[in-house]
Amino acid sequence: MTVTALIPAAGRGVRLGADEPKAFVDVCGRPMLTRAVSGVLASGVVDRVVVMVPADLVDATAALVPESVRVIAGGAERIDSVRAGLQTLTDGDPDDIVLVHDAARCLTPAAVFERVVAAAGDRYWAGAIPGIPVADTIKTVNAAGGVTGTPQRSGLRAIQTPQGFRLDVLRRAYAQNGLDDVATDDAGLVEAMGGAVRVVAGDPLAFKITTEWDLRTAERVLVAE
Ligand code: C5P
């Protein structure tokens, strides 16, 4: 059984306000993407890595990562980037494990990869995703800002990556039509076809760098290490 990590890094990252695409922004002197690739390789549970970046940055990225890492062009949306990565796995066995891991979660500890890979190999489940309990009360709202509901907090999890699935499951999930605008993560696509997805323990360090504040937080974590 082979474990492949697909790393979508083709986002423009406008919320971060940087000139370059988000994954290429430095975090304490090293681009987020190379930190993410190093983290995946250091986990010791991943056999191969495919990175999806903006088409004009494929060559520059290949020069930044180890030779064993495949670098390809991503797509217009994250879902298109993951689909492009999946299409490279032509020689894969249906039971191989595929992890999808955001470059923007570049501080994810090895133990999270270990837990996801271990759980994703369990045939009872269609996939495994890391999650952490939410500290805030979450409200659903309508377009006018009116509160429409308050889900029980104890039953909520904030979901991170890596998200792990067997190759055949993820292929079928991505072959579905009409979900590109509604599914905000890979597990959402698997759930949409009736797959039972299991949440394993995530880690606060697997947070996604989205805003300037997140970037400063990541730098503070690295300086404190
Ligand atoms: O924008 P967001 O933070 O949700 O993106 C999550 C991950 O998906 C990032 O690592 C980003 O680079 C990646 N992405 C991508 N292709 C896109 C958009 C986002 O690979 N077209």
Q: What are the tens digits of pLDDT across the range 156-198?
A: 999 999 999 999 999 999 999 888 778 889 999 999 999 999 9
Distance from Cα 10 to the centre of ligand 1, integer Å: 6
Confidence of residue 151 (pLDDT cuts 50, 70, 90): very high
Report the number of distinct structural domains present in the chain: 1
**CATH number of the domain that residue 114 is part of:** 3.90.550.10
Which residue, judged by its Cα, is nearest atom 7 of ligand 1? 102
Distance CA 199, CA 195 (A): 13
Task: Give the containing element (helix H, strand E) for 83.
Answer: helix 78-86
Phi-psi sector, 204: left (phi>0), alpha (psi -120 to 50), beta = alpha
Protein residue closest via CA to atom 3 of ligand 1? 210
Centre of ligand 1 to C-alpha 165, Å, is 19
pLDDT beyond 80 at 13: no
Domain with 14 in it = 3-224
> What is the signed CA dihedral for 214, 215, 219, 225, rounded to 10 degrees?
40
Q: What angle do CA 14, 18, 23 make, to 5 degrees?
A: 80
